[in-house]
Structure 1
Amino acid sequence: MTDDRVSPQRPPRRPQVFRLDDRDLTLAPPEPEPDDSSAAIPDPARKRSGAVSRFGMTLGGLFWTAAGGVASLAAYVGLSRLVSDLYAQSPVLGYVGLAATAVLVLVGAVLLGREVAGLARLAHLDRVRDKAASAIAQDDRALAEAVARDMLRLTADQPPLARARADLRGHLAGIIDGADLVRLTERTLLPALDARARQMVSEAARNVSVVTAVSPRALVDLVFVLYTAVSLMRRLAQLYGGRPGALGMVRLVRHVLGHLAITGGMAAGDTLVQQIIGQGLAARLSAKLGEGVVNGLLTARLGLAAIAVTRPLPFTALPAPRLADVATGLLRKAEEDEAASPR
């Protein structure tokens, strides 16, 4: 049984040659695009996430905001009740409690302001780095000039860079390409800071290696390594204009660890790691010296990740520091100590 609505199959047409400017040529209308039935089906998860995003806050952010509000109300009720009880005992005690509460609130507001300012400075470094990457990718002159001016403000409190800032201001109007302006900014302002950052990482790795090699307790090693790593990240952030507070350090540590996870930790293709594996250096060293070398290398790798996170510009015109640049002296010292130790 056949359906009358179905037209019979047309015979295939033979290929023909025609000119595009032929007046007798008639173009067929474009075929309608197939209807995507999946687009018409609403996604409940997407709908829920969209409802949350309309308020400008995720569920996690809403939770912590509510928790902070409840904690603030509880602190207010507790302090007001304490002051009332003190005043009921004696007016003098009530005034003393009120003065102490005022000092507590004032100092807490100052500390909170410092933490917020530290978080804002770290976020500003991220924004400058993102703008620089966009300016290079899009060759955007206006965006590149904004990046250069941001870098001038970030380094305004560093007297050794006064000559470099003057040179950059003199070239702002002469560079036409946005990517070239970002690279010029990097070559002008960051070489001295990068050299200081590499020196910081090298010193921290050497200190960790020495302390780990001579320390008799594993707990002392752990505490010193953690203290050195956190201190190194803070000093690198201050060097590049971050100056984080306590909350800023938590955010910075998360960024550094995330960067290590993305880059794969200690890269197996690094020339320094190849030197250790190829020459069997770790096998020739004693147990404590070998442990010191490994801890020093891990500290150096952590420092390199901190440089990548806190540096306000990506490495484009200047080469990124490698593990061999900051830890070569570490291996040389370990070999010398092993050769000098009594057999």
Structure 2
Amino acid sequence: MSDERISPRRPQVFRLDEAAITLAPPEPVEAEAALPVPLEPRRRTGLSWGALFWSALGGVTSLAAYVGLSRLIDDLFARAEWLGYVGLAVTAALVLAGVVILGRELGGLARLAKLDDIRRRAADALADDDRASAEAVARDMLRLTAAAPTLARARADLEGHLSGIIDGADLVRLTERTLLAGLDARARQMVSDAARNVSVVTAVSPRALVDLAFVLFSAVSLMRRLAQLYGGRPGALGMLRLVRHVVGHLAITGGMAAGDTLVQQIVGQGLAARLSARLGEGVVNGLLTARLGLAAIAVTRPLPFTALPAPRLADVATGLLRKAEEEEKEAASRRQ
């Protein structure tokens, strides 16, 4: 190797437009080095500790139940033969009822999952304008609403237009207008009635615990009826899943949106200040019930709102303000 050392160059100032300056061409960059290397998330393999715990707990509980029932039947046979046969018959009835209930719960969960799947595939068909996916969504909607006699004519009209629509997005919109217009109107009416009932009951109820119980009961009942309206029919486990989805939807959309026109009407006109404490509490509870109902519609509706307008809080809860103002005027006239 040479012992010569390169002398350091002093910094210089120059302009890029000088004639004596020659710019070196950029160095070639290999294509593989230029592309970023995607980092894949680390995937867990095997069972997690939580899944192992619940699986083991279920197995131990099943074994304990089996051992307990077998000992009980053996004791019954030891006492009297007919008691043993009675114990066998009651155990068989218990197992049969448990299997039927479990099947219903799994069926309810499957129906709710079917609604989510149709809504997801419809959104994809709208975004991609996919004719095949849109037709599959339309046929799934026909099967979903087959048990509704009020939609018989709507189903016949949709079946007659399936082959005539070329664009996938237009087919999804036609399916929404044909099959869900009437169901949406009934859903808005159900939400409005539930909000009005909650407002009236909580306004006249003397106990806060009664108010809370009635609001919870009305909200859960409204969610169940909306799911049944759109073809869900959830069971007990399905209701837990539905409530979780509704609460998650409220968290995503911001819950009681302060920018809603109805809330602006209450705050801007000072209506809450003019109402009495009980009537104001009733209006707030009614608005909360209406907001939960709108979230339940968005979760249980099998198609996204595209061709039809989504219901707003003002559409289902305007009657609460009118009724509260009338009751306040009546109370004021009686005091005078």
Q: TM-score, length-normalised on structure 2?
A: 0.89
Aligned residues: 320
1:152 aligns with 2:146: no
Match of 2:57 among 42, 67, 76: 67
1:33 aligns with 2:41: no
- Unaligned 5+ segments in structure 1 are 17-26
Q: Does the C-alpha gap of structure 1 residues 208 and 12 become closer, same or farther in structure 2, counting only changes over 3 Å?
A: same
Displacement after TM superposition at 1:119 (Å): 0.6
Q: What is residue 198 of structure 1 aligned with on the other side?
A: 188
CA–CA separation in structure 2 for the residues paired with 1:278 and 1:193: 33
Matches within 5 A, 1:262-301: 262-301=252-291
Q: Specify the code of the residue in structure 2 equivalent to 1:51.
A: T
Identical counterparts, % of pairs: 75
CA–CA separation in structure 2 for the residues paired with 1:213 and 1:195: 27
Displacement after TM superposition at 1:62 (Å): 4.1
- Unaligned 5+ segments in structure 2 are 10-19
Q: CA RMSD in A?
A: 2.7
Q: Does the C-alpha gap of structure 1 residues 2 and 243 become closer, same or farther in structure 2, counting only changes over 3 Å?
A: farther
Q: What is residue 258 of structure 1 aligned with on the other side?
A: 248
Q: Specify the code of the residue in structure 1 equivalent to 2:80.
A: S
Q: What is residue 168 of structure 2 aligned with on the other side?
A: 178
CA–CA separation in structure 1 for the residues paired with 2:326 and 2:60: 60
Match of 2:220 among 212, 230, 247: 230
Displacement after TM superposition at 1:77 (Å): 1.3
Q: What is residue 215 of structure 1 aligned with on the other side?
A: 205
Q: What is residue 97 of structure 2 aligned with on the other side?
A: 107
1:81 aligns with 2:75: no
Q: Provide, for residues 251-295 of structure 1, a one-character-per-residue CA deviation record: whole Å limited to 9, x for no partner.
A: 100000010011110111110000000001111100000000000
Q: Specify the code of the residue in structure 1 equivalent to 2:33.
A: E
Q: What is residue 24 of structure 1 aligned with on the other side?
A: none
Displacement after TM superposition at 1:36 (Å): 7.8
1:51 aligns with 2:45: yes
Displacement after TM superposition at 1:123 (Å): 0.5
Q: Specify the code of the residue in structure 1 equivalent to 2:208.
A: A
CA–CA separation in structure 1 for the residues paired with 2:123 and 2:49: 31
Q: TM-score, length-normalised on structure 1?
A: 0.87
Displacement after TM superposition at 1:3 (Å): 9.4
SS of residue matched to 1:108: helix
Displacement after TM superposition at 1:153 (Å): 0.6
Q: What is residue 331 of structure 1 aligned with on the other side?
A: 321
